[in-house]
Structure 1
Amino acid sequence: MLKTIKNIVIISMALFCFIGYSQTETKAKYVFLFIGDGMGASQIYTAEMYLNAKPGEIKVEPLLMNSFPVRTNMTNYSASSYVTTSCAAATAMSTGLKTNNGIIGKSPNQKIDYENISQKAKKAGFKVGILSSVMIDHATPASFYAHQNSRDMYYEISMELPNYNIDYFGGGGFHYPEGENGGQPNSYENAIKKGYTIANSHEEINKLKHGDEKIIAINPDMYPSGEFYWAIDKNEEALTLADFTKKGIEVMDNDKGFFMMVEGGKIDWACHGNDGVTMIHEVLALNEAVRVAYEFYKERPDETLIIVTADHETGSLYPGINYAMNPELLKYQKISVQEFKRKMTDLKNTNPEVSFNTLSDLIQEDFGLGNSEIGLTLDKDELSMLKLAYNAQFKKNNAVDADADYLDKNDVNSIAETAAYILNKKAGISWGSGDHSGTPVPVKVIGKGQEEFSEYFDNTDLPKKIQKLMGI
């Protein structure tokens, strides 16, 4: 009898210790989820080659995100296709449930609103931030707060945005704040009525401080359509994704913790346009935002979790043509395809009779093409391609819209797109398409609970793993 009582006491003490340990065990209090839209393994590796490229030297140093101790892959098919769209992928990544391509935060039959990780984190007492380098009502950020039948319902998404008391929105603006055709209640005014503060100047954003709540911080220096300028174009005054990440930490830091989703949205846009060098600079911009989170992690390594992944890959990019790569040649591109299109439009408006020779000088200045001293001599076929583009744009007066939607398909290959294609090919970059691919995407993790991500998994498992580690 005495022995039985002794055993019961020992078991009870062990159970008490276990319960006590489980209740005091530190969870992931601060979670950063970085999503490189369209960023597959090839996009990351190409950026690494670009950074380390020197003539005659083969060397690759990993980006910060690629130095994280846990590195695996994640499947991303949607409920309707093996090739996902951003909204279907982001819905899976925010809710743990699949939906059809084109839908935001709802079931495939559009009848059920899925509860997302932002809503769950808020209910559990965490602060929540949603950041993007594109419009904050775009597919990926919207999937972390909204529920709409179509990703194209931008106005409806923007009107839904303030309904969930999310603490900090940062980055781009709204597509159509007064509706696509105008005349509807203003999205910003709707947010203000629901308690949000709009900060859209350098001064207002700089003044944001620890403890401020319900903030929509919008980059004061961006394209009129609402997305950041391209990183390659070096608009020195413009705030970066890293700046918004740093401000988000400052505003939301608290003892309970926070969940922050940060999207590098223009990686995808550059890949849709097969603009390799511009894509590289967008990957590097995301990596700098990751660096901000990493500095925070170093101060609280036992409480912080950083995940870097993608919703899908875009462009079927593969580096290497005939076993050759010359990534050092990519460094001669100094401007995005979009901004070179704008330069060509301005030139046509001021000097419609400009000669091809004058144009060639501008191409060499911004892409290096035609400069034999740096290994970018143009052969007969390449010259012919550029002349065809020149004739179409300047002689036949085919319009080229620098600000056309990134998904619009144009039958006319502009001078800018042609120059980028030639430079990519000379450097050894090949594009399989201008659309999404169905390949699994990379996942890079460091911090509290990192081992939870060590095996190959599906994107619906991502929020479940995060919520488990946060204790939600």
Structure 2
Amino acid sequence: MNSNEHTTLLQGSNQRKKSHPSLPQVLNTNKKKIVTMTCFIVILIMTFFIQMSDGSPFFHHNNTLHSNRKRNVIFFVTDGMGPASLSLTRSFRQFTEGLPINDTLNLDKHLIGNSRTRSSDSLVTDSAAGATAFSCALKTYNSAIGVNPYKQPCGTILEAAKLDGYLTGLVVTTRITDATPAAFSAHTDFRVQEDLIALHQIGEYPLGPVIDLMIGGGRTHFYPRSDSKHVYGTHGTRQDGRNLIDEVKSNGWQYVGNRDEFDQLKMGQNVSLPLLALMADFDIPFEIDRNSSIYPSLEEQTVTALNALNEASKDCDQGFFLMVEGSRIDHAGHQNDPAAQVREVLAFDRAFKAAMDFADNTDVETILISTSDHETGGLTVARQVTKEYPEYIWLPQVLANSSHSGEYTKNKIIEFSRNLKDDDVEDNIKEIIKFIKKEILERDLGILDYSQEDVEFLARAKTADVIQDKINDMISFRAQIGWTTHGHSAVDVNIYAYTNKKNTWYDILDHLQGNHENIEIGQYMSNYLNLDLGKVTAMINETKHSPELSVKDLEKGLIYDDYHHKLINNN
């Protein structure tokens, strides 16, 4: 301390001595301080209870570990949707509906971070490993369903929630036995073991039934193969001869297999749990192709599930866990079909909004978390279509002109060709060319500037995949939309969230805002519901999970899945 600082301090001390107050002044001042402090404490206490009563945080605490309030978790998976999918769909919607540039999707308003997606054996994950990261909160190998890298079953959040008193549900637009729903409800070494996955889903494993509600496609894995038409359809694939639909019905399940029966559920107000609703033999058609008189939308499925689970849990101490998957965003990416892609994302966005509305109208603390297992297709919202420097443009009108997917129009061409009676190949080609021009390109796809070479190529294509790829490329090229792969990519995917309680919102941000590994999302949901995944893992270690059939025999059941059947050969 220098001399000036020392002098200043001494002067301050002397000054305080000279101005020392009298005793009455001290008492009066202290009285004012006491009153002020008392008022402050009262206000503090009142503020605390007011804030806590409406769900706002006064103290920033870890809500996931210190609350026993009744809770619901709605977990959304946008299979195959990357950030570019949102950009594509947002601009498409603005264009087709004449909206301003500041109009956004429902999801856009709730973006909080992004997720890294690698699996344990690859920088590029598949849906099985990606979904297992959410369900078991651990990394595993591509094609693994509810098992760790050593092919040992791992307890899932859905199983743990059921054992802890929560109701549980799965809603998808693909097969209910497909990778994402399977990863929450089954344990198999490979995703292609869908017959075994179906057994696990109806409760034929150590834990017994753990799913209260399933809505989706995939009827094929619930009834046996048959040469004649079966009451449930014509494409049963079960090789053990069992009819699981009849079995669950005899065990008290409510079964729904068509649109009329689904409508009788009255959006969840007329549901008897457990419910198995299988709306298609395979996948529910793309939204762009969906016949609403036959198939319910993802939004309708979601609302039905939410209402049913909410009604069934209203007098319970615990709420419910529901996983909803926008499944076929992934398929549109695999097929490089931008017209199908935007409709799938819009359909998912409507389902997400319906869940937000549900949360806003329930007194039960409810969180929504939405993310993707991975991105599919390497989508880019731009494409260089000339050798010259590229235009800075893409054309949503091309996607708007298209009223059907490449998958739908491919099948339409194949069916037309099969029905031709003429034995003369060239006469048949002429009929096919005429059909492709008028019915496919002009009517279904809105393409008028096709070349004769385009039409000839489609008419003479040797395989269904070649036809589909050509159709989707014709759309993508004209819209100037680019794709880098028919597989998955390693791009980070977005995380979205919503809740009806303010204190929970801060807790979600504490744990999921910013960039995270995908396993952190699974761990957060587990902590939020106070679940013990390790305890469940110990209970299921004897689960039958390894295949009894050869790889070749397993792949026979994948006649409808061209995207993932090769994964098993790498493990």
Give the TM interval when normalised to the shorter protein: 0.7 to 0.9
Aligned: 1:431 with 2:504: no
- State which of 198, 207, 210 in structure 1 corresponds to 2:255: 198
Structure 1 residues 324 and 124: alpha-carbon distance in aligned structure 2, compared to 1, 3 A threshold:
same
Note the C-alpha offset of 1:121. 0.9
Note the C-alpha offset of 1:156. 0.6
Note the C-alpha offset of 1:341. 1.4
- State which of 122, 137, 140 in structure 1 corresponds to 2:177: 137
> Gaps spanning 5+ residues in structure 2: where?
1-44, 46-51, 53-58, 204-208, 226-236, 384-389, 421-427, 532-571
Q: What is the aligned length?
A: 424
CA contact (8 A) 2:173 2:328 kept: yes
- The structure with the largest alpha-carbon Rg is 2
Match of 2:285 in 1: 229
Paired letter, 1:296: F
User: What secondary structure does 1:354 align onto?
Assistant: helix
- State which of 331, 343, 351 in structure 2 corresponds to 1:269: 331
Match of 1:155 in 2: 195
Comparing 259-268 with 339-348, which one deviates more in the overlay? 339-348
- State which of 63, 72, 84 in structure 1 corresponds to 2:113: 72
Match of 2:562 in 1: none
Match of 1:10 in 2: none
Aligned: 1:53 with 2:115: no
Match of 1:333 in 2: 402
**What are the superposed Cα offsets for residues 263-302 of structure 1, whole Å, 9 maximum, x if unpaired?**
1111111111111111111111111211210111222487
Structure 1 residues 36 and 301: alpha-carbon distance in aligned structure 2, compared to 1, 3 A threshold:
farther
CA contact (8 A) 2:93 2:99 kept: no
CA contact (8 A) 2:195 2:238 kept: no
Match of 2:552 in 1: none
Note the C-alpha offset of 1:234. 3.8
Paired letter, 2:288: I
Aligned 1:390-409 pairs, distance under 5 A: 390=459, 392-393=460-461, 398-400=462-464
Structure 1 residues 314 and 210: alpha-carbon distance in aligned structure 2, compared to 1, 3 A threshold:
same
Structure 1 residues 288 and 58: alpha-carbon distance in aligned structure 2, compared to 1, 3 A threshold:
closer
State how far apart, in whole Å, the 1-side matches of 2:98 and 2:248 are.
Answer: 56
**What are the superposed Cα offsets for residues 141-169 of structure 1, whole Å, 9 maximum, x if unpaired?**
00001001110001011011122331111
User: What secondary structure does 1:429 align onto?
Assistant: coil
Note the C-alpha offset of 1:25. 5.1
CA contact (8 A) 1:158 1:174 kept: no
Match of 1:187 in 2: 244
User: What secondary structure does 2:495 align onto?
Assistant: strand
| Percent of paired sites with the same residue | 24
Paired letter, 1:185: R
State how far apart, in whole Å, the 2-side matches of 1:113 and 1:73 are.
Answer: 28
Structure 1 residues 28 and 290: alpha-carbon distance in aligned structure 2, compared to 1, 3 A threshold:
farther
State how far apart, in whole Å, the 1-side matches of 2:177 and 2:443 are.
Answer: 37
Match of 1:304 in 2: 366
Note the C-alpha offset of 1:182. 3.5
Aligned 1:432-451 pairs, distance under 5 A: 432-447=484-499, 448-449=504-505, 450-451=508-509
Aligned: 1:463 with 2:541: no
Note the C-alpha offset of 1:26. 7.1
Structure 1 residues 56 and 240: alpha-carbon distance in aligned structure 2, compared to 1, 3 A threshold:
closer
Note the C-alpha offset of 1:227. 1.4
> Gaps spanning 5+ residues in structure 1: where?
1-13, 371-376, 401-409
Match of 1:11 in 2: none
User: What secondary structure does 2:514 align onto?
Assistant: coil
Paired letter, 1:246: V
CA contact (8 A) 2:417 2:432 kept: no
Match of 2:351 in 1: 289
State how far apart, in whole Å, the 1-side matches of 2:269 and 2:100 are.
Answer: 46
TM-score by length of 2: 0.69
